[in-house]
């Protein structure tokens, strides 16, 4: 039986096989096969890494033997021997996952040095200082990476000896200094009950294991979690003959990009150091020079490198990130990979490469990630800033903003009116805080999740927000919060990074991107490829205008409850809720009617004939009322005021206030529900209080009539929330049609409209065929559908969901990424059953998942018509929808090719059988 192949020489591997060889290894193989100057080496595959973990962290059978055989080939190519005391071969041992994970895993350089080979290296090169410098570098890296000794211990030794030189640099250390440093490094390792093996093969064996182990190190695991890279991929290990950049001023090392990774400008961009090794550039031990300076110092090397960089970019059709070493005037390429880049650079590079005929438009659309596009839409914290992180929470709404801390929404509004920049800090937010949220530059909450009130409202406004920053200990009475001993009081400045969830102390510089022609061109291309329509969740004319500006093709969710915020409206709303009987309730609703009509008219004007889906009142009524705790506090304060009253008039006034608060408290207690999110809300409210539905529908139809009188087209869709029974929708639809007939009769005109429902309960999805009899459209409310499917409160689950994700109980936060297996199946079932009753039924989603790329791909897969998301996510959704369509098209083409190949093979087999039979 042939042994499994765990090891590939560079000339054996293929650049297309990143999953097996890792990105670094695949690039080295490709450069080697292209004849570029690459030091010889071998790759231990990602399969070996996975087998290592499956085998209780032991190498799989045959792997180590294949490594040693590969080393013999490297020895033959370079004319040196691994462990040879006279002519030693040194190697680097580097990680290399399929997806680039810069800085997340481990590397060891100069492996193969010991007390014998260090002398051989000195003889081989004629440079004792160089040899000892390589040894001290090896001892430091090996001690840190393989043996786990703290890096700072080695740094302290190096700094002590550098401080005793005239220049204070590592290049000022002489041979004697380096000998003392090596001795001190070994003593540090011995003090840790360890020692660097003198056997060079043992050095290599444990170094390979260390790289494998780094795959599951915390840095790597956290990076993969953030970037959604599976743990199952494993890392390859690249073992490569060392070339040395620290052999004098004719040697050096550097990193360069074929285009500027920050701006996308087409120019070589990077840094290098002469007389240095790779980690010197990265670690900042010395200040590197811009790559353009290399043209002056080593012009022949620069010319060769520039030509290779251009060749690599054209070969890979993408911007390359290259590592190189110069050894005594000879250029060696150590790595090429697709470069990491900012959102601005990604868009510019993709569009310019189309015009350079390096890629086509479909590739350009697929080249820019949704996260990169999102960077363009929001300011970000300057990555170069030196800043103190106070706390980290959930990145609820992207962007960066700064302001003075305030704890009261009223104060936020007042200070903002005076021109101040404020950040509203709350335990959590409620509808009562809305005016303060509007006024604030950013919102920070100690509690709540990605779809909490603060998060949803902030995203809708494009407002920076961090939720669930549980480290914050907020003290409203003292107007301060504290984190690990640091106290921040009202009026102090903080900076909020909603893209990463970090809260910084003080005013940290931000960078505000601008949208250029490249962005709009890319979006135009994306729109041509996508099938899914993209709408926006918008509750005000301002939101609608922003949505149109970002390319929204309609409003998929207008939440009418958000129109009741503000002092005048909230007062009328509370009057309606607390009314004693239908008559009093209708009187209060009369005050809200013109306000709602005006809001709807403003939205219709902005959307200019695009579809507008308006949801009837949905949340529990208690959300518009003061909390019991607040009322009890106010009563206690009034009683204290009564004790201080000095006149009968003052006492009578306070007593009246106390009576009023007590009456309100009784009503609030009477309306309190044990589980309000599953209580008296949605269509249940409209069925028991039909006058509320009448008022809202009258406001809509009257606004349509007025818009039509202004010669404006309106496409109105009325959505009934929280339906679980077909009869609920039937009765609400009858009421809507009744109001429509009344208003059309009064205005002498006709109004085109549709009535549909939000599918947000499991029963509604399962009974979609019967509900569809009364619906013109479905819109899946995946926020509540996720809550009711999982039995999770999206706010309360924040305290344990992170544990679930970390321990892989769930792969993703289901409130951020649609749960395909559970919630997704309900969406699929609801769509199929609804269309079995009405084949042309329009179906979309309007939950937070409407802006998530993975969820959008699922919506495209099951044939939804549209997604709806916050206005500032519309470009991201447009791009994600295009990418989903292109991926589906490619998958279908691949399947067709496979089936065709199978069919051809079947024909050949049949022909062969016929031939045999005839013989």
58 vs 145, 232, 763, CA distance in Å?
18, 17, 51
SS3 103: coil
Helical pair 370-377 and 874-918, crossing angle rounded to 10 deg: 170
Q: Token pair of 466, please?
A: 């961090």
User: Residue 832: CA atoms inside 13 Å, Cβ hemisphere, count?
Assistant: 9
Residue 683 designated active-site: no
Residue 844: in which H helix or E strand, if any? Answer: strand 842-845
Q: Are strands 289-290 and 320-327 parallel, antiparallel or unpaired?
A: unpaired
Q: Token pair of 185, please?
A: 């490094």
Residue 559 pairs in a beta bridge with 615
Please pick, among 378, 435, 453, 849, the residue that the annotation labels catalytic: 453
DSSP line for 246-281:
-SSTT-EEEEEESS-TTT--SS-EEEEEES--HHHH
Helices (H), 530-646: 541-549, 567-577, 582-607, 628-644
Residue 730 designated active-site: no
Residue 333 pairs in a beta bridge with 324
Query: Could you give the angle at the alpha carbon of 451 between the alpha carbons of 450 and 456, nearest 5°?
Result: 110
- Picking from 747, 742, 745, 772, the residue whose alpha carbon sits closest to that of residue 759 is 772
How many C-beta atoms lie closer than 10 Å to residue 644's C-beta? 8
Q: What is the distance between the alpha carbons of residues 450 and 148, in angstroms, rounded to a whole number?
A: 37
Q: What is the distance between the alpha carbons of residues 550 and 293, in angstroms, rounded to a whole number?
A: 42
Residue 866 pairs in a beta bridge with 533, 844
702 vs 570, 604, 696, 737, CA distance in Å?
22, 12, 10, 14
- Please say whether the beta carbons of 566 and 540 come within 8 A: no
User: Residue 498: CA atoms inside 13 Å, Cβ hemisphere, count?
Assistant: 30
Q: What is the distance between the alpha carbons of residues 332 and 93, in angstroms, rounded to a whole number?
A: 17
- Picking from 619, 546, 570, 600, the residue whose alpha carbon sits closest to that of residue 435 is 570
Q: Token pair of 75, please?
A: 């020895």
SS3 625: coil
Q: Are strands 388-392 and 502-505 parallel, antiparallel or unpaired?
A: antiparallel
- Please say whether the beta carbons of 466 and 440 come within 8 A: no
Helices (H), 424-516: 434-439, 453-461
Q: Are strands 269-274 and 252-257 parallel, antiparallel or unpaired?
A: antiparallel
Q: Are strands 7-9 and 715-720 parallel, antiparallel or unpaired?
A: unpaired
- Please say whether the beta carbons of 849 and 817 come within 8 A: yes
Q: What is the distance between the alpha carbons of residues 697 and 694, in angstroms, rounded to a whole number?
A: 5
Residues 6+ apart with CB under 8 A from 692: 576, 585, 589, 616, 617, 685, 686
- Picking from 421, 386, 398, 420, the residue whose alpha carbon sits closest to that of residue 504 is 386
Please pick, among 705, 846, 859, 869, the residue that the annotation labels catalytic: 846
**Distance between first and last Cα of the chain:** 36
How many C-beta atoms lie closer than 10 Å to residue 159's C-beta? 12
Q: What is the distance between the alpha carbons of residues 403 and 393, in angstroms, rounded to a whole number?
A: 18
- Please say whether the beta carbons of 828 and 863 come within 8 A: no
Q: What is the distance between the alpha carbons of residues 71 and 88, in angstroms, rounded to a whole number?
A: 12
The residue assigned the tokens 């599918």 is 759
- Please say whether the beta carbons of 229 and 101 come within 8 A: yes
Residue numbers annotated as active site: 453, 846
């Amino acid at each position: 039986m042939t042994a499994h192949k765990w090891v590939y020489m560079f000339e054996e591997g293929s650049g297309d096989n990143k999953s097996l060889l890792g990105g670094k290894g695949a690039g080295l193989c490709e450069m080697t096969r292209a004849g570029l100057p690459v030091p010889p080496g071998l790759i231990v595959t990602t399969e070996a890494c996975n087998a290592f973990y499956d085998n209780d962290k032991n190498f799989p059978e045959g792997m180590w033997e294949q490594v040693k055989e590969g080393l013999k080939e490297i020895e033959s190519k370079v004319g040196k021997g691994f462990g040879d005391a006279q002519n030693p071969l040194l190697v680097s041992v580097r990680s290399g996952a399929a997806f680039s994970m810069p800085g997340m895993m481990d590397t060891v350089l100069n492996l193969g040095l010991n007390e014998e080979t260090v002398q051989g290296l000195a003889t081989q090169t004629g440079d004792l200082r160089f040899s000892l410098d390589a040894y001290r570098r090896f001892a430091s890296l090996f001690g840190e990476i393989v043996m786990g000794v703290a890096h700072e211990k080695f740094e302290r030794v190096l700094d002590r000896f550098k401080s005793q030189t005239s220049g204070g640099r590592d290049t000022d250390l002489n041979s004697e200094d380096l000998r003392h440093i090596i001795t001190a490094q070994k003593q540090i390792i011995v003090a840790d009950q360890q020692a660097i093996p003198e056997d060079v093969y043992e050095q290599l064996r444990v170094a390979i294991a260390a790289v494998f182990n780094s795959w599951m190190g915390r840095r790597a695991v956290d990076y993969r979690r953030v970037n959604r890279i599976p743990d199952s991929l494993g890392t390859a290990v690249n073992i490569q003959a060392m070339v040395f950049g620290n052999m004098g001023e004719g040697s050096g090392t550097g990193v360069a990009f074929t285009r500027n990774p920050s701006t996308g400008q087409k120019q070589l961009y990077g840094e290098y150091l002469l007389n240095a090794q790779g980690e010197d550039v990265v670690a900042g031990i010395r200040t590197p020079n811009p790559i353009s300076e290399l043209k002056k110092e080593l012009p022949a090397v620069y010319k060769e490198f520039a030509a290779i960089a251009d060749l690599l970019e054209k070969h890979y059709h993408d911007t390359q990130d290259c590592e190189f070493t110069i050894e005594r005037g000879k250029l060696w390429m150590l790595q090429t990979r697709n470069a990491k880049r900012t959102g601005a650079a990604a868009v510019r590079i993709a569009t310019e490469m189309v015009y350079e005929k390096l890629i086509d438009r479909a590739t350009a659309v697929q080249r820019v990630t949704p996260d990169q596009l999102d960077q363009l839409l929001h300011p970000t914290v300057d990555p170069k800033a030196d800043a103190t992180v106070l706390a980290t929470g959930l990145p609820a709404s992207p962007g960066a903003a700064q302001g003075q801390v305030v704890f009261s929404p009223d104060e936020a509004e007042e200070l903002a009116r005076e021109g101040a920049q404020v950040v509203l800090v709350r335990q959590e937010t409620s509808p009562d805080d809305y005016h303060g949220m509007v006024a604030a530059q950013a919102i920070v909450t100690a509690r709540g999740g990605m779809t909490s009130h603060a998060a949803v409202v902030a995203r809708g406004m494009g407002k920076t927000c961090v939720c669930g920053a549980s480290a914050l200990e907020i003290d409203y009475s003292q107007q301060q919060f504290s984190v690990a001993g640091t106290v921040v009081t009202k009026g102090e400045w903080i900076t909020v990074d909603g893209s990463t969830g970090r809260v910084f102390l003080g005013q940290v510089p931000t960078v505000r991107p601008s949208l250029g022609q490249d962005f709009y061109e890319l979006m135009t291309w994306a729109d041509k490829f996508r099938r899914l329509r993209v709408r926006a969740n918008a509750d005000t004319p301002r939101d609608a205008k922003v949505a149109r500006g970002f390319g929204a093709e309609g409003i998929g969710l207008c939440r009418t409850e958000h129109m009741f915020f503000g002092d005048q409206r909230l007062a009328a709303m509370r009057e309606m809720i607390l009314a004693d009987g239908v008559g009093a309730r209708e009187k209060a609703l009369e005050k809200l009617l013109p306000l709602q009509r005006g809001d709807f008219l403003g939205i219709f004007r902005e959307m200019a004939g695009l579809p507008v889906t308006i949801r009837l009142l949905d949340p529990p009524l208690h959300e518009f009322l003061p909390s019991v705790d607040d009322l009890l506090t106010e009563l206690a304060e009034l009683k204290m005021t009564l004790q201080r009253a000095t006149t009968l008039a003052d006492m009578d006034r306070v007593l009246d206030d106390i009576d009023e608060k007590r009456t309100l408290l009784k009503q609030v207690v009477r309306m309190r529900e044990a589980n309000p999110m599953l209580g008296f809300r949605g269509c249940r409210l409209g069925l028991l209080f039909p006058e509320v539905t009448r008022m809202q529908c009258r406001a809509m139809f009257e606004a349509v009539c007025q818009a039509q009188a202004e010669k404006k087209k309106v496409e109105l869709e009325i959505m009934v929330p929280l339906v679980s029974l077909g009869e609920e929708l039937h009765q609400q639809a009858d009421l809507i049609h009744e109001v429509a007939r009344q208003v059309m009769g009064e205005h002498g005109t006709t109004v085109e409209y549709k009535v549909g429902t939000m599918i947000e309960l499991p029963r509604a999805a399962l009974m979609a065929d019967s509900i569809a009899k009364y619906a013109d459209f479905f819109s899946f409310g995946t926020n509540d559908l996720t809550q009711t499917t999982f039995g999770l409160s999206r706010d309360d689950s924040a305290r344990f969901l992170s544990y679930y994700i970390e321990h892989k109980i769930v792969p993703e936060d289901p409130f951020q990424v649609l749960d395909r297996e559970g919630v997704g199946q309900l969406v699929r079932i609801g769509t199929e059953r609804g269309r079995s009753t009405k084949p042309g039924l329009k179906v979309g989603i309007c939950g937070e998942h409407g802006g998530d790329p993975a969820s959008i791909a699922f919506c495209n897969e099951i044939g939804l018509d549209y997604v709806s998301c916050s206005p500032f996510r519309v470009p991201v959704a447009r791009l994600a929808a295009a990418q989903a369509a292109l991926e589906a098209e490619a998958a279908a083409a691949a399947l067709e090719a496979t089936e065709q190949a199978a069919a051809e093979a079947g024909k050949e087999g049949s022909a062969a059988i016929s031939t045999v039979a005839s013989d």
